[in-house]
Amino acid sequence: MELDIIKSTDSEVAELIEKELERQRNTLELIASENFTSKAVMAACGTVLTNKYAEGKPHKRFYNGCENVDAIEELAQKRCCELFGVEHANVQPHSGAQANMAVFLYALKPGDTVLGMDLSNGGHLSHGSPVNFSGMYFNIVSYGVNENGEIDYEDVEKKALECKPKMIICGASNYSKIIDFKRFKEIADKVGAYLMADIAHIAALVATGEHPSPAEYADFVTTTTHKTLRGPRGGIVMCKQEHALGIDKAVFPGIQGGPLEHIIAAKAVALKEALKPEFKEYAKQIIKNAKALADSLMSNGMDIIGNGTENHLMTLDLRKYGKTGKDIANVLEEVGITANKNTVPNDPQSPFVTSGIRLGVPALTTRGLKEDDMKEVGEIIALAVLNSDDKEKLAQLRERSQKLCDKYPLY
């Protein structure tokens, strides 16, 4: 019905939306940072709340007529605090990067030293990349991972003692091991640094106890809402109560104007869904599916960084095949699988080419796939890598992936 309304006004946009729906329905989604929202979350994004301007915090707005959006935003805050066990939550950030920016603005001054994970080793753009605000305005010292894809905590401590950072960042966009938040806290305390945990990728696992929580240890916890958390595209910044006022001011008026109240409503819906028992089962299945996919890939001769995964994602190392992540990502798309090129530790290729592919299972888990299905997905990927120049074999693999899409219809 909604598409019919759009079609009556703008047939071009409606047609492209229909095409995107068909693409999602007929593709195995293995981009680790993507997921499928519930229809309720999607519906909340398209409500009359999009009409309301609400600069400021609930009950302290710069506009009148905010009593309803105040109540919705407070619901989202309350649910977030309950879900993650935090003292304060600001649900206004438009993205995870802006949640991170709010922490930087509050906790640091330009030129302060920050210790964060290197982007090429699994960190995020907003953890200190030179092309990002975080790397442009702050002195960034980076830590990485060893050949097994693991953080060397002794090395992190050594670097912290040498550079005396004002803030240490833990959390990643491509790290397949359990993060030791307690160890990071011990290092931060040794040098008197703030600790920021970016759990954008593992939010659902943290919320359900499938991954240790940083809430007890970190001064600030940031997340997106659209990855494993399965909500709308947006961000949240959480903190201890002592930082609440400063973080709120950093979000507004520090880095943003009016919040997107329709998206905040969708965040509230997603957070309620995440508090249900079914969501815990979903998170457990993510772990099972990720392990099944990694095992399938390795049993078919593929190399996985770290020889497996402890969360929702993994990195396929293509170096021994002499193939690049850029090329294989395109090959996988030919066989009906979307994934993204990604660097491997000490990658000889540029970040625009890479020697790896990042694979994540949250979206396929939402769709309903189980361990046996992930075994089939692993076989398809392995055969696509080994037969990347054989169009006939790739066409056969496309048929196999389509059968899985048909088995688990979307929307």
The CATH number covering residue 123 comes to: 3.40.640.10
| Of the residues 253, 274, 295, the one at which a domain ends | 274
Looking at the structure, tell me whether residues 54 and 193 fall in a common domain. yes
Tokens 């009148």 — which residue?
Answer: 64
231/48 Cα distance (integer angstroms): 19
Looking at the structure, tell me whether residues 310 and 228 fall in a common domain. no
Residue of 53, 137, 153, 321 marked active site = 53
Whether 63 is catalytic is no
Grouping H, G, I as helix, E, B as strand and the rest as coil, residue 337 is strand
238/99 Cα distance (integer angstroms): 9
Grouping H, G, I as helix, E, B as strand and the rest as coil, residue 28 is strand
Residue of 57, 227, 230, 341 marked active site = 227
Looking at the structure, tell me whether residues 174 and 223 fall in a common domain. yes
pLDDT grade, residue 181 (50/70/90)? very high
Whether 208 is catalytic is no
Residue 120: predicted pLDDT: 85
Looking at the structure, tell me whether residues 193 and 172 fall in a common domain. yes
Residue 182: predicted pLDDT: 98
Residue 346: predicted pLDDT: 86
How many independent structural domains does the chain possess? 2
pLDDT of 267 higher than 90: yes
Looking at the structure, tell me whether residues 394 and 256 fall in a common domain. no
Q: What is the pLDDT of residues 361-388, one digit of tens each?
A: 999 999 999 999 999 999 999 999 999 9
Whether 224 is catalytic is yes
What is the per-residue burial (b if ≥16 Cβ within 10 Å, else e) of 130-157?
eebbbbeebbbbbbbbeeebebeeeebb
pLDDT of 124 higher than 80: yes
Looking at the structure, tell me whether residues 270 and 193 fall in a common domain. yes
Looking at the structure, tell me whether residues 224 and 270 fall in a common domain. yes
Specify the higher pLDDT residue, 96 or 1. Answer: 96
Residue of 7, 25, 183, 233 marked active site = 233
| Of the residues 219, 251, 274, the one at which a domain ends | 274
pLDDT of 1 higher than 60: no
Residue 148: predicted pLDDT: 83
Mean pLDDT of the chain: 97
Whether 248 is catalytic is no
Q: What is the pLDDT of residues 40-70, one digit of tens each?
A: 999 999 999 999 999 999 999 999 999 999 9
Residue of 224, 225, 228, 309 marked active site = 224
Looking at the structure, tell me whether residues 101 and 223 fall in a common domain. yes
- Please, where are the H alpha helices in 26-171? 39-45, 67-84, 96-107, 133-137, 153-163
Looking at the structure, tell me whether residues 181 and 80 fall in a common domain. yes
Q: What is the pLDDT of residues 326-359, one digit of tens each?
A: 999 999 999 999 999 999 988 999 999 999 999 9
Looking at the structure, tell me whether residues 197 and 310 fall in a common domain. no
Find, among 176, 199, 119, 122, the residue nearest to 312 by Cα: 176
Residue 217: predicted pLDDT: 98
Find, among 163, 152, 214, the residue nearest to 191 by Cα: 163
Q: What is the pLDDT of residues 197-232, one digit of tens each?
A: 999 999 999 999 999 999 999 999 999 999 999 999
Residue of 34, 55, 180, 295 marked active site = 55
Looking at the structure, tell me whether residues 239 and 131 fall in a common domain. yes
Residue of 198, 210, 273, 373 marked active site = 198
Looking at the structure, tell me whether residues 291 and 372 fall in a common domain. yes
